[in-house]
Structure formats: C-alpha cells, structure tokens
Amino acid sequence: MQHWLFKTEPETYSIADLKREGRCGWDGIRNYQARNRLRDEVAVGDQVLIYHSSCAEPAVVGLAEVCGAARTDPYQFDPDARYYDPRSTPDQPRWVLVDLLFKEVFATPLTLKAIKADALFADMELVSKSRLSIQKVAPAQFDAILNRCRAG
DNA sequence: GCCAACGTTGGC
DNA sequence: GCCAACGTTGGC
C-alpha cells in the first residue's frame, strides 16, 4: 500500500465536494508523468492526501482512499469539456483517471507554509517538484502529516 | 496579475 | 534528438 498526495484547485473541485459526493473519478490529469503514476503505480487501497493549490492558503486538507484502479478518462473525448484532448481516440486513449473514496476532512489543515518550515518535509515532492499533481509521500511523512492534521 | 519553473510541441 | 518557442502551473 502506497501513500500519495493529489493536488486540486478548490475552485474546481474541493475536499468539501468530495465529502458531499462520497466518491469521485479523479479526472483531468493531463501530464504524462502524473498519468504514468496513475496508470502504473496507484493501486486500490492506497491512501491519498488531498491538497488544495492555487488558493488563498495552499494546504493538505483531507484524506481519501483509492477505490478504483486506472480507467479511461471520458472527458478527453468531450469537445465541450475543459479536459478535451483532440489527439485522443477511443481505441488509443491518452489519459486515465482513478476513483477515490472520501475518508476525512482534517481538523487542522497542514499549510504549505508549515510544510516548508519543517525539515521533516524538506524532501517532499511538494517542495522539490511542486508542479507535479500526483505526488508520492513517504510513510514517515504521511504519518507525520496525519498526526498534525488530526490534532486539535 | 506577475513571473519563475518546467512541461510540451514541432521544425530542423 | 536538439532546442527554441510556447503553454501551464502555482506560489506570492
């Protein structure tokens, strides 16, 4: 079982949206490195930290679990969708999504500021490869984040 | 809204 | 396969 951090812009899709819906297809990933991870490495049962980016206070805000392995992202075929890709065809789809199950909204979100201020998190991809939207999280860091986020 | 970092495209 | 031009991300 692996640990991940998935980024989302809360104006587009937030942890509150995931809580309300209970589960969702994590669509719209249009970056090859992120796609390859979804397709080859993310597995059912993996734990996923949800991170809000491009907002007033970027932070880790909640927890989800992978409940469905990679499948074709249908929006790549929809000309009206934001995530339309005219080079994708149904026999040769480029993009996949995984399905997530809502688990938890954190009592205390861990802000990017706090992550950057703590040496424990210095080698996180969030710090070193900040643009990658599907990030790996080491078990020790995952546990530390959970502990901080669940504390009052 | 700015801009640095970095991913993608396409001509050669 | 190189690399310049261009597009996107995301913190600030």
For residue A130, pLDDT over 80 is answered with no
Strand B neighbors by CB, 7 A: A 31-33, 87, 129, 131-132
Q: How confident is the model at residue A2 (pLDDT cuts 50, 70, 90)?
A: very high
Residue-wise pLDDT for A9-57, tens only, equals 999 999 999 999 999 999 999 999 999 999 999 999 999 999 999 999 9
A9 touches strand C (CB under 7 A): yes
User: Where are the domains positioned within chain A?
Assistant: 3-151
- pLDDT on residue A138: 95
Q: How confident is the model at residue A80 (pLDDT cuts 50, 70, 90)?
A: confident
- pLDDT on residue A35: 96
For residue A148, pLDDT over 80 is answered with yes
DSSP secondary structure of A65-124: EEEEEEEE-GGGG-TTSTT--TT-BTTB---EEEEEEEEEEEEEEEEHHHHHH-GGGTT-
In this structure, whether the domain defined by A3-151 belongs to CATH 3.10.590.10 is answered with yes
Q: List CB contacts of A75: < 8 A, sequence separation 6 or more.
A: A27, A28, A81, A82, A83, A84
Between CA A83 and C1' C4 the distance (Å) reads 27
A18 bridge partner residues:
none
Which nucleotide shows the minimum CA-to-C1' distance to residue A130? C10
